[in-house]
Amino acid sequence: MSGAQRATPGGARQGGAQPGGTQQGEPQPGVAHQQGGTRADRPFGFRYLGPLLLGSTLNPINSSMIATGLVGIGTEFHLGPGQTASLISVLYLFSSVMQPTMGKLASLFGPRRVFIAGILILLAAGIVGALAPSFGFLLASRALIGIGTSAAYPTAMAMVRARADRLSVGVPSRVLGAFSIAAQVTVVVGLPLGGILVGTLGWRALFSVNIPLALVTLAATLVGVERDAPRPSGPWRELVRLLDLPGVALFGGAVAALLVFLSGLGDPAWWLGACAVVVGGVFVWRERHASSPLIDVRALASNGPLQRTYTRQLLVGLGMYACMYGMSQWMEQGRGLTPEVVGIVMVPLSLVSIVVARLVSLRGWVRMPLVLAGLAFLATAVMMVSANGSTSIAVLVLMTSLLGLMNGFGGFANQTALYMQSPADGIAVAAGLYRTFSYMGAIFSSSLIGLVFGARATDPGFHSLAWVLSGIGGAVLVMTLADRRIPRVAA
């Protein structure tokens, strides 16, 4: 095993049984892995993979749906846009902190147990939001949604990795592609679903819809996903020590300060930036000396490939969200299109992403998609620079399709690189931290859009955004070409 494989962001200093247990009729170990994953993915049928995919989409669905209900919530509770927007930021904040924390819990208690616990928290969140008598209860519901849904992705990656390793099937590239595709489907479904729910049932449906979603996911998990292997029992004091609560608190403080700082770069609160640096420094010092760290910073510091994967994902997330939201605003205000037409023009982004992610996952490509993602980013920026108020709809569709290429290539390849660069005992924390970097990119994008557009999305502001995005795309391309540790294919 290479050094890159040994190094892991969390749990590398402790052992423990891998999640296991074999269902009746499950394929036996020794299945040969072939390029493209055809035989390797047979152990991952819909009965097993379905609840994991559904669970991993619940966080992004809740992130996008809420946008359609902010006006109605503000009207009922007599609040302004700034106050209702806190419903968006509170989910991002709790998700950013809890993703790696849930990964740590999975390494201690078993990924299936933590996955189910997250679903139950989501169920409670849906009930609280549906019955909320005040805005404070809605904030609590969104915080619980962030906590509950954060369990899904890191634990799903841990369960997939454990099953693949146990059955000796290599890297299940088609399975990883399915997770990437599920994320793209969420982009298509989230806003329309939210609009339908608000239009037919009112804004409380945005919270209560989590009740049936949680129940369906819970039932499917209990039926289709085998139980975790038994874990050695121990005193609660020892379990608390292993969880590293001081590390969780310091990590949460550093991430919270950084995210709030990044979200307000138009009028930066420099003291928050300094606070993020100081608390982050204390966190690193604490984790270096902890016997069971939340994030094993020593191992992460020695794992250059994984560090670069996190950086690429931050850049891809920043560029993707800045393009997606920047384009939609400019098409309405600068190009003069109606929201309905803008929605249609943006559809190719998701459709192309889905098709591309499927194609590359069938072949297990990793390095080339990252190169193509950087090139697609640059091509998108060139088209943005040349766009103006009279640009035809056909050209705009081509522009969003190029962005879809970037998203489809980059999303699958970075996720597969993460899977290959993290060993089984650290994949849950590594996957959670991967999502944290994605959230940082998303929040940073809102400040970037505000800086280049100002009060209105005009042609000059759109062109300025294009130049910034060309720099991001160039950075992704250079990082990929210079990094010889990125595998050519998943194997």
Structure confidence at residue 118 (pLDDT) = 97
Judged against a pLDDT cut of 50, whether residue 352 lies above it is answered with yes
More confident residue, 438 or 491: 438
More confident residue, 124 or 92: 124
Structure confidence at residue 19 (pLDDT) = 38
For 139, half-sphere exposure in the C-beta direction (CA atoms, 13 angstrom radius) is: 12
The CA dihedral of 192, 198, 200, 202, to the nearest 10 degrees, is 170
Structure confidence at residue 199 (pLDDT) = 86
Q: Report percent pLDDT > 90 for the chain.
A: 52
pLDDT tens digits for 98-145?
A: 999 999 999 989 999 999 999 999 999 999 999 999 999 999 999 999
pLDDT tens digits for 416-474?
A: 999 999 977 889 999 999 999 988 888 888 788 888 887 788 899 999 999 999 999 99
Confidence band of 282 (pLDDT split at 50, 70, 90): very high
Confidence band of 42 (pLDDT split at 50, 70, 90): low
Judged against a pLDDT cut of 60, whether residue 14 lies above it is answered with no
Judged against a pLDDT cut of 90, whether residue 373 lies above it is answered with yes
24-28, 64-68, 143-147: which has the minimum mean pLDDT?
24-28
The stretch 60-86 carries a mean pLDDT of 83
Kindly calculate the radius of gyration of the chain based on its CA atoms and give it in whole angstroms: 22
> In sequence order, which residues have a C-beta less than 8 Å from that of residue 45 and are 6 or more positions away?
none
The stretch 294-302 carries a mean pLDDT of 91
More confident residue, 9 or 420: 420
Q: Which of 2-16, 80-94, 155-169 has the highest mean pLDDT?
A: 155-169
Instruction: Give the pTM.
Output: 0.83
Average pLDDT along the chain: 85
More confident residue, 254 or 23: 254
Judged against a pLDDT cut of 70, whether residue 27 lies above it is answered with no
pLDDT tens digits for 163-220?
A: 998 888 888 888 999 998 887 777 667 767 787 888 889 999 999 999 999 999 999 9
Structure confidence at residue 9 (pLDDT) = 55
Structure confidence at residue 347 (pLDDT) = 81
455 φ, ψ (degrees, to nearest 5): -80, -20
Judged against a pLDDT cut of 90, whether residue 372 lies above it is answered with yes
Q: Report percent pLDDT > 70 for the chain.
A: 90
Structure confidence at residue 6 (pLDDT) = 41
Written as one letter, the residue type at 98 is M
Other C-beta atoms within 10 Å of 334: how many? 21
Alpha carbons 224 and 397: distance in angstroms, whole number: 40
